[in-house]
Structure 1
């Protein structure tokens, strides 16, 4: 009997990273539990054995399935009859490639936090590893899980806005507006090139904004001009970025991301304008989509409300008026992945309606970061995406 023989019950999940005190690990665990598709059974939650053991105990894991090394975890879990079927990788960026490779080559599905890797070389290697594996690779660009984002995507695909002319997307925060406290581990690794990679704010949140733009509009980027800047003294990586975008077919775009915009929390906002109409979505009020038609009044579409599409309603859980937010959107990515994993159990492809970010979306994000860095070094010159 192998670990895929039992096709019933929850998907057996492992986790790399996400030990005690790790914000994103907790988010992934909530998302995995939300719709009841997964059971966390193993983890390499920290590279420090003592912390790994303590984190495992806190989560109620069997001590025999708590590891301090992800390679050991991959090797042993692949041999167990009830070993993990999928693994969540929630480490700093520089670990993504090495960890994902160990599970992919053993046929274990990977659900990985963004961005794909810390640099382009590792991204290309991870792409090759994912394409040569029978396992699925899911990247958690969770903003694609919001019902009203799915609504916007469906409306644009249906031609409701006509030919797209202008796209504006932004993601401002203020949590890095000053030098963080020395014990702020999140800030420490996200501002460290050795762990975060080639991009600062543009890699951390700019990739979310770019992925959202691409997911909703389907536009293909032709070239960009980026001005990356570090405002906080002594900071190596950018904490603010302004990016101009040119798309195939003639549309134009602008992306702004900042982690020094005082007063901003997680202000993801998308505006799309075509020759027939426009739309706007704001993540801090995510259950509403504002739509305008040329010569007509502004109208509001609400999640699971009148006018909401089947694409949006399929990923809505509760009636209109009860808010769904960040955790539910994250949960949608896990649920979409679960449907694909369950199909893979039976040797089938995922249903056509199932959508989740893949390794190819990750490569697009890495190409975006790389192009932004190259452009900024040339005084915001226009560059093509590699």
Structure 2
């Protein structure tokens, strides 16, 4: 069952929670109104405790993310890419992972990082410019953020091929956006993955906008259908439905671990904020579109389910809000306490055993910076 308390079934449940069947092309288990529904191939069993855990995970991710925007506006961070609106896709898929699985993220997957037990301060250190990586990938099997669009799909595929050759009972999930699907790296990764039966799940968060370019300017067909052209399954899931994202990702991971090869998941969601804090989305998208998607808010819909079933009350939501505010406060205090590292560190970890040319460059750099210190003392 796992921490989230939700178990997958490969057959449709015959329980009494069905409200309306869904198209096989769009997997949804929780409607925007907060009602449980059915899908012909996927179903979940839920517990109140498990749903509350998912709710708090999403709420915490949103609070930490909002703090990132505030810190950047106050000059504490150089940049911040917000996940606002994509909490269900990230928490649902993140909670589907086993500890032995590996994650290759892009640069917006803060919710996935938190679901893996990552220290949020490590994420902020990268965008504050006081770390070249931020964390040890082996500690939580959560690899470094990739800012080169789509490159992580190749990294993940290669790593998954290695896991398969080692006989490891583990899978890889790689996260990327709809814009990355226009990169050749992604197509190459698809081809390598299917030809080598790599245990990798390609998780595309289609948030409708690749910076200022809408998805319809990138593709003539739904993104999940691209997988069929390479010879492996692709599915589209309601990316604002945390239960559907959890169920589908667990299914895809199980396929991968069983040696059945890759799967492409298109989580159909929406970026509610700017692409990054250097972007102004009002210049390229209509406010009515944003309002339409606001009605599909992933946290609000799970909150509606908890309320309607009597599994949470106002006191519970207030407690969660308090814990989320404290988490954001803790991040703020730790970010402001971060110190500037020694610039010479960039020369010390390029080679395990050192390198004569790097040593020479380090000596020149040291002499150069020392000259500034001498001039300040005059």
Q: Same fold (TM over 0.5)?
A: no
TM norm structure 2: 0.32
Tell me which protein shows more helix as a share of its residues: 2
TM-score, length of structure 1 as denominator length: 0.32
- Larger CA Rg, structure 1 vs 2: 2
